[in-house]
Amino acid sequence: MRFNFLAAAVVAATFSACFVQPLAAQTAEQLTFIPAGGRTLLTNIATSKPPADELKALLTGKRSRDEWSSYLTAHSQAVPALQSQSDKQRLTLADYLSFHMPLPANQVPANLTRTDWTRTLPKDGRDLALDNCQGCHIITVVVTQERTKKAWLGTMSTPAHAVIKMTPAERDELASYLVLNAGIPIEQVPEELRASGATY
Ligand code: HEC
């Protein structure tokens, strides 16, 4: 209940601010408080010079999230970049891999060392949130909420949200990312992204 109350306050403050001036575009730097999604986490691994066969195995395997999570733990000796990930990051990456791997054969780069990974890899949950959840209210409304997956899917099917052009698979992936990474305490949100009335 506490979270709903906070959300209502942030939404109300954001909407009233909208009439005065449009929401200023957020810079990438202001948004760094929102945790990296799987695309970024995988890019970091791909550019850490891992053994080519290990990298290829990440791009071409088919596993559930739990299977990927165990797989990543088991391969952290061979891929040292995995060792610096927190448990939450490993789960976020495992979740992403379960949605997007194996990559279609024609999307697996021929030369793994000279690839623009940011462009090659499919969007992650963070990308989906930034692309789809800032049009009507500030992103803070979304990322400060702690919800179950079912509750997130429910939020996304209310009348205000059902109209958003996202596929069911994208909604599922976004909900999964938010379960793991939303619920950010308001103190960690840059002040300019805390709508007045929701800061305390
Ligand atoms: C088309 C406009 C629009 C877009 C785009 C939009 N929202 Fe909203 N959102 C609203 C409106 C209107 C409200 C307040 C009324 C309500 O709660 O439905 C709201 C409120 C919320 C709330 C707080 C109220 C609640 O349900 O607890 C959350 C959380 C939320 N939105 C999540 C999202 C997410 C996640 C996305 C991206 C997938 C998103 N919104 C994109 C219109 C939008």
pLDDT tens per residue across all 200 residues of the chain: 445 555 555 555 555 444 434 455 678 889 999 999 999 999 999 999 999 999 999 999 999 999 999 999 999 999 999 999 999 999 999 999 999 999 999 999 999 988 999 889 999 999 999 999 999 999 999 999 999 999 999 999 999 999 999 999 999 999 999 999 999 999 999 999 987 544 33
Q: Which amino acid is at 71?
A: Y
| Peptide bond between residue 102 and the one before it cis (omega within 30 degrees of 0) | yes
Tokens at 129, concatenated: 């949130």
Gap from CA of 73 to ligand 1 centroid (Å): 36
In the prediction, which pLDDT does 8 show? 56
Q: How far is the centre of ligand 1, averaged over its atoms, from the C-alpha of 80 (Å)?
A: 39
What ligand 1 atom has the least distance to the C-alpha of 158?
A: 18
Q: Provide the whole-model pTM.
A: 0.88
Domain boundaries, the chain: 2-34+124-193, 38-120
Give residue 28's pLDDT.
86
Burial class (CB in 10 A: 0-12, 13-18, 19+), 138: buried
* 36 CA distance to ligand 1 middle (Å): 22
pLDDT at residue 55, rounded to an integer: 97
| Contacts (Cβ under 8 Å, ≥6 apart) of 40 | 124, 126
Q: Is 4 in the pocket of ligand 1 (CB under 6 A)?
A: yes
Question: What pLDDT score does 119 carry?
Answer: 86
Residue 74 C-alpha to ligand 1 middle, in angstroms?
39
- Assess contact for 122 and 160: CB atoms under 8 A: no
Q: Which residue has the tokens 């007045």?
A: 196
155 lines ligand 1 (CB under 6 A): yes
User: How high is the pLDDT of residue 25?
Assistant: 63
